[in-house]
Structures are given as C-alpha cells and as structure tokens.
Amino acid sequence: MDKPMDVLRDFPVRKSKKQKEQFRAAVRSYAESLGYTYQEEPGSFSSRNVVLGDPEQAEILITAHYDTCAHLPFPNLITPCNLLLFLLYQLLLVVVLLAVVFGVSIGLGILLQSPMAGIAGYYLLLIALVWFMLCGPANRNNANDNTSGVVTVLETAAGLPPDLRDKVCFVLFDLEEAGLVGSSSYRKRHRKAIGRQWMFNLDCVGDGDEILLFPSKAIKKNGAMTDWLRAFCPPAGKKTLTVRDRGFAFYPSDQAGFPLGVGVAALHRSSWAGLYLGRIHTNRDTVLEEANVRLLRDYLLRIIENTHRKDTNYDTL
C-alpha cells in the first residue's frame, strides 16, 4: 500500500480471516512508514481492531469499520432523516422474507407429508436466513460500504502533521456488519477514555453530494459543541457538509454508544424519500468519490488543529 486509495484496488474484500490479516499487515506497514504506533486489539467473536496512536491519551478518535458486508439480493436502504420511510422499508423486508420462509416450509411439510417437518424447516430456514445476511458470501463491490471510510481514515492520518498526532487516535473496527461487535469491544476496553473524547465515525462517505454529521444526543444538547462542529464545515461547491442537529436523525453505525460520537455519511436526495443511502450490500456499490474523501480529510484536519489550540473553549464559542 503506497497510498490510501490502494485499498480499493488491492484489498477490495475484507471478510475472511486471511483477507483481514493481509489488509491489516498492509495498514501496519503503511502506518509505521508514517511514524504511527500500530496496535491490534482483540475483541469478541475473534474480532481485531486496528489502532493507530494512543487510545487513552487521545482527545479525538477518527474511526471506520473495515470488515466487508455480505452480498444481498436487495439494497440496505437507509433514510436517516425520514423515520416513517425507514420503518416501512424495514417492515417490508421482514414481511417479504418471512413470507418466503413460511411458503418454503409449508411446501416442505406438504412434500414430506409431515407438519412437524414443515415447522422444523421454518425455524431452520429462519436461522439460515439470518446467518446468510450476516455471514454469507462477501459483497465484492463495497466501494462505499465501507472502503470509503477506511480510505478517509488513512488519508486523514497521512495528512496530519507529526506535531498534532499526540492527541489523535485512528481506529478501524472489525465486525461492524455482524452487529457493531468491534466498536462494542473497543468501548469496553477504553470505557473511561471515551467519555471525554470526540469520536468521528466514517461509514459510507464515498457516494453522495450531501455529507451529513450525525452528533450524539449529548452533543446536540450542547449548542456550543454543535456550533464547534459547524464552524469548520468548508464551502464545497456542489457538495455540502452539514450538521444534523435538528429534527429526527438516526444513523445506525459504530458511533452508537460513544458519548461524544458523530456519525458521518454521504447521502443522495430524492423528491419522495428525502435524504437516503442506497446501493450498499449489493453489486451496485461501486462509487467512491475522491472529492468526498478530500473534503472530509480537510474538515477533520481543521477540527484536529483547532482542538489542539490552548484557547479552545466550547462553552464560550
């Protein structure tokens, strides 16, 4: 790995044990060439988080998950600012999948002339379906989810001057797709430190012109903190970088559980759905715009630089 964008070319899939090991080895070599300390922290279910820097002394965490999701026949549509549509889509998926499982199990019971076989088949198919969605064959196209987040983390690390690195920690979480396993393990290991740390989690930031920051409840309650986040959003031409601190906002990713967590995602807009994230978990996930990476890298570098200033006082912003 000579530059962060090489991840898209050289390590497009990071799902099997061997694939993850090869990816982590490349990250280690690249990070150490930049002068960072490298650690691998074991977690639940054999997860391994990659940590660059000192997680206990850091004031800011820049994170992303590096594991690859399973390939699904339908996109994981997320409408983070439209609660009704989000719930309706999730409900539709559940109904359709349960109907398929129910129909197959009924057919199995009729074929074998055994109601018990049908019932057993229903539960076995249900278990198999959940396993397939979490642990099935890797989605080989995952430019946005979440190669984009990995690349942005590494770009930010590469662009950070050495004199600002002492209070920043970069973390790549494992097993996000299995239920935020890696970030949960990280929180347990560093429970005291995360209570005072800003955490910016980059998940699906490569495809979309409207990039949103989703701050935690604790941040949204503090006007000075949201003003601080907003103060460094640069003018970006056709692209926008905004803080979602009003109205409904729900973005399911690794920032959940971090008191000062900020989820970051790139979204599209439609007239009927509003802001949405689509195409992920399917073979259509092929877009990673370098302009998004550069925009977020520059924003995070501004945040880091200004956090290090001794006169920074969130209460007086």
What's the mean per-residue pLDDT of the chain? 93
Residue 313 has a pLDDT of 53
Q: Tokens at residue 208, please?
A: 């979309």
Taking the C-alpha atoms of residue 193 and residue 279, their distance in angstroms, rounded to an integer, is 36
Give 243's strand partners: 213
Query: Among the ranges 56-65, 109-118, 236-245, which has the highest mean pLDDT value?
Result: 56-65
Residue 133 has a pLDDT of 83
Each residue's pLDDT tens digit, 119-144 = 998 999 989 888 888 888 999 999 99
Report the 10 Å Cβ neighbour count for 85. 16
Give 274's strand partners: 270
Q: How confident is the model at residue 63 (pLDDT cuts 50, 70, 90)?
A: very high
Q: Which amino acid type is present at position 98?
A: L
Give the mean pLDDT of 78-101.
91
* 213 burial via Cβ count (<10 Å: 0-12, 13-18, 19+): buried
Each residue's pLDDT tens digit, 288-317 = 999 999 999 999 999 999 986 644 555 433
- pLDDT above 70 covers what percent of the chain? 97
Is the previous residue joined to 139 through a cis bond, with omega within 30 degrees of 0? no
Residue 309 has a pLDDT of 61
Question: For the ranges 2-6, 263-267, 272-276, which has the lowest average pLDDT?
Answer: 272-276
Question: For the ranges 64-68, 89-93, 208-212, 301-305, which has the lowest average pLDDT?
Answer: 89-93
Residue 312 has a pLDDT of 52
Each residue's pLDDT tens digit, 139-179 = 999 999 999 999 999 999 999 999 999 999 999 999 999 99
Residue 308 has a pLDDT of 65
Pairing of strands 60-65, 198-202: parallel
Question: For the ranges 22-26, 156-160, 248-252, which has the lowest average pLDDT?
Answer: 248-252
Residue 235 has a pLDDT of 73
Residue 272 has a pLDDT of 86
Output the pTM of the full model: 0.93
Taking the C-alpha atoms of residue 37 and residue 255, their distance in angstroms, rounded to an integer, is 23
Backbone angles phi, psi at 2, to 5 degrees: -100, -25
